[in-house]
Structure 1
Amino acid sequence: MRKELLLYFMTKKELRKLYKEKREGISSRDKLKLDDLLLIRFQQLAFENVHNLLTYWPLAGKAEPNTHLFSGYLRHMIPGLRISYPVCNLNDFSMKAVIIDEDTTYTTNDYGITEPKDGRPVAPSELDLILVPMLVCDQQGFRVGYGKGFYDRFLASCREDVLTIGFSYFPPIEKIIDTQAFDVPLNYCITPEDVYEF
């Protein structure tokens, strides 16, 4: 109970530090199992109206869930699926979605994010499903990311009915105490044990 109370009163900065450490403490062997469980939960959702996906490349050395599993599953299930990756502008913390294919070459930016080197941008309004990076979220769907605001800015320009999904090895906490008006909540958080809808 005391531990839950402490989490309730933690800021994004404190939660970011705690959950980075928790995630990086997962062994490689356990992470493989947890990623498989995340995929099983992900497969329980319906994706009938998804034609344009924005996903992301897991950060090397940050123990992020293996998003390649999820995009690979969707590619198999949805013929003609268009997949895009974010390309970040490190000056103004904006980003765009760039369509990838089997010929795409990639580069790594100064934050260690793997991005398409070039390619055709897709309008935010065309995206149907966005996989959103996160460390942890709360029971309202607000998430703790890496603190630069790339995704909240981008999501504000997407359709209201775009589907947003985050993946976490940990269940949602009760409340993030310092959410802002510009924070955009997720539709779903998928953990190894459950699918949370907000």
Structure 2
Amino acid sequence: MTPRLHLDKASLRRQLLAERRSLSVVERQQYSQAIAVHLQASSLFQRATTVLSYWPLGAEPDLRSLLLQPKQWALPRCQNQRLYAHCYQFEQPLAKDCAGVLAPLADSLTVSPAEIDLLIVPAVAVDKEGYRLGYGGGYYDRLRADPAWRSIPAIVVAYAAQIMSELPHDPWDIPFSAVCTENGYWLID
């Protein structure tokens, strides 16, 4: 296997996505369920009233079971290359947004950052310092660069195999508050 620390972001992303796709459906289901249990037990989740989460894409951890929890939920919707939080209620219709991800309809109510207590974001990889490697579109980077979003606690979720000791990151990358995998949850110092 190629030493990961010497790979650029694009090469590392390809390698890690291939590894994630190699997980069986049963493994992904079991890991997703364990991640959801760890998230529910976390203090950040328990304190949150309104949560911006995500709809799973491909082999990402599937946290849709959390959407049944008694909280106010929002999902991101890409518009003009930026993410916006839109209200979501279980079984509400979804449609693909500008990033090709299922999201609430464009005419659904938006939620301001001031109303969000917690952000839950998937990753291609995450390191021990909370730096996230995404798909490369920069959507969550732009969201979190906005001062209104920066102070909101943010948990990055990934499978344990996606945890790296160190990831390449740029000066504008913002580390996450916590990381959650099927093996547990931890706050970033």
Does TM, normalized by the shorter one, top 0.5? yes
- The yes-or-no answer on 1:174 pairing with 2:172 is no
Where structure 2 has 5 or more consecutive residues not aligned to the other structure, the ranges are none
Cα distance in 2, alignment partners of residues 40 and 49 from structure 1: 15
Instruction: State how far apart, in whole Å, the 2-side matches of 1:7 and 1:30 are.
Output: 23
Q: Which residue of 2 aligns with 1:143?
A: 132
1:103-142 → structure 2 map (5 Å cutoff)? 104-109=92-97, 111-117=99-105, 118-142=107-131
Aligned-pair Cα RMSD in Å = 2.0
- TM-score scaled by structure 2? 0.87
Asked whether 1:9 is paired with 2:9, we answer: no
**How many percent of aligned residue pairs carry the same amino acid?**
24
**Mapped partners of 1:82, 1:35: distance in 2:** 21
Aligned 8 A contact 2:124 2:133 in 1 = yes
Q: 1:66 — aligned with what?
A: 62
The one-letter code matched in structure 2 to 1:155 is R
Q: May I ask how many residue pairs the two structures share in their alignment? A: 184
C-alpha distance in 2, partners of 1:64/1:101?
Answer: 21
Distance 2:91 2:35 in 1: 28
1:83-122 matched pairs, under 5 angstroms = 83-89=73-79, 91=80, 93-101=81-89, 104-109=92-97, 111-117=99-105, 118-122=107-111
Q: Which runs of 5+ in 1 are unaligned?
A: none
Q: TM-score, normalised by structure 1?
A: 0.83
Tell me which residue corresponds to 2:49: 51
Q: CA deviation at 1:172?
A: 2.2
Q: Distance in 2 between matches of 1:110 and 1:126?
A: 24
Q: Could you say which structure has the higher strand fraction?
A: 2
Query: Aligned AA for 1:193?
Result: N
Q: Which runs of 4+ in 1 moved over 3 A?
A: 158-161
